[in-house]
Amino acid sequence: MDLGQYRFIPDQGCLQHLESGETKLLTRSELLVLTQLIGSPGVTLSKHQLSCGDSDAPLISESAVVKAIFTIRHTLGEPAASSIHTVPKEGYQFVPMGQRESAPVKSEGKRLTPKVVRSMQILSVVAVLLVSIPLLYQTLSHHYQTPPLSTSVQEVHNDFGQVIQVEIVTSSQSNIGAMQKYADLLTNQFSGCVYSPWKKVKLALSHDQQMLNITMFGAGKSHDIRNMKISDFRATPEFINPSWLKQVSICE
């Protein structure tokens, strides 16, 4: 299968440049994703389907699917990269270069994946919070004046050329130092990611300083949201440490 300047050779798991003959070996994730897309031209395949291949259970994570799509497009370059379409809220579709104008959009097996369900649950919680927080502020304002919020943003650059924003939100000047420490830990972790599906991370500390909320916003058109709450009721909380970062797989 020819892809612009490259030929896909699935048996060897590589892309071969048509002019130079040089080959680029594909990772396991890239080979799995590209084989399925090219094998089903014009069919929209969800991230879950691409993660499973011919298996009933996922062989790779959905974030690995996103990374594979990004890397394949980057390798192919334009115009071949545009053959891999993003179908919003559905998945990805391969349309051969000569069929772009006439190819109908097909969708195969629409179903809610566990990740979609989790995202819907998170959005439901966010919606409830958006309604309840103003009411809570109105009640509390009768007892004391809420201090103004202060924010600061720093950018992270990884080896893949991505830029990730880490934002601190706090209502107390005394919390800025501690919050900056947590932001620095996340910044160092993201800078070591080969690829990250996240474009922005927001840190917010609760008023009693015993809960840290971390919200990560997806890159591209996926609009994924990952929300984590860390509670620590000790006198001197420690919300983020190397052990915790390793457990939560922050790069994915």
* pLDDT, tens digit, 9 for 90 and up, residues 62-72: 999 999 999 99
| 194, 68 Cβ separation under 8 angstroms | no
Q: Which of 33-47, 112-126, 147-161, 212-226 has the highest mean pLDDT?
A: 33-47
| 190, 196 Cβ separation under 8 angstroms | yes
Give pLDDT, residue 50: 94
pLDDT above 70: percentage of residues in the chain? 75
> pLDDT category, 169, cuts 50, 70, 90?
confident
Give the pTM: 0.43
Of the CA atoms within 13 Å of residue 155, those in its CB half-sphere come to 4
CB count, 10 Å around CB of 116?
Answer: 16
> pLDDT category, 136, cuts 50, 70, 90?
low
Give pLDDT, residue 104: 46
Average pLDDT over residues 153-163: 84
Average pLDDT over residues 143-150: 53
Q: Domain spans of the chain? A: 2-107, 112-146, 147-248
> pLDDT category, 103, cuts 50, 70, 90?
very low
Q: Which CATH class is domain 147-248?
A: alpha beta
Measure the N-to-C terminal CA separation of the chain; round to a whole number of Å.
Answer: 31
Phi/psi of residue 185, nearest 5 degrees:
-65, -45
Give pLDDT, residue 191: 84
Q: Which of 58-67, 124-133, 141-150, 171-180 has the lowest mean pLDDT?
A: 141-150
Task: Tell me the one-letter amino acid at 234.
Answer: R
Q: How far is CA 25 from CA 14, 20, 74, in A?
A: 4, 15, 14
The SS3 of residue 9 is strand
Mean pLDDT of the chain: 79
Fold of 2-107: Arc Repressor Mutant, subunit A (1.10.10)
Which tokens in the block code for residue 173?
């000047």
| 216, 186 Cβ separation under 8 angstroms | no
Q: What are the residues whose beta carbons fall under 8 Å from the beta carbon of 133, sequence distance 6 or more?
A: none
Q: What is the CA radius of gyration of the chain?
A: 22
Closest by Cα among 186, 182, 187 to 239: 182
Question: Rounded distance, CA 61 to CA 68, Å?
Answer: 11
Question: Rounded distance, CA 69 to CA 86, Å?
Answer: 10
Strands 23-25, 43-44: parallel, antiparallel or unpaired by DSSP? unpaired
Kindly report the length of the chain: 252
Cis peptide before 79 (omega within 30 of 0): yes
| 49, 91 Cβ separation under 8 angstroms | yes
Give pLDDT, residue 121: 67
Q: Does residue 38 carry a pLDDT above 80?
A: yes
Give pLDDT, residue 28: 92
> pLDDT category, 176, cuts 50, 70, 90?
confident
DSSP type of residue 82:
G
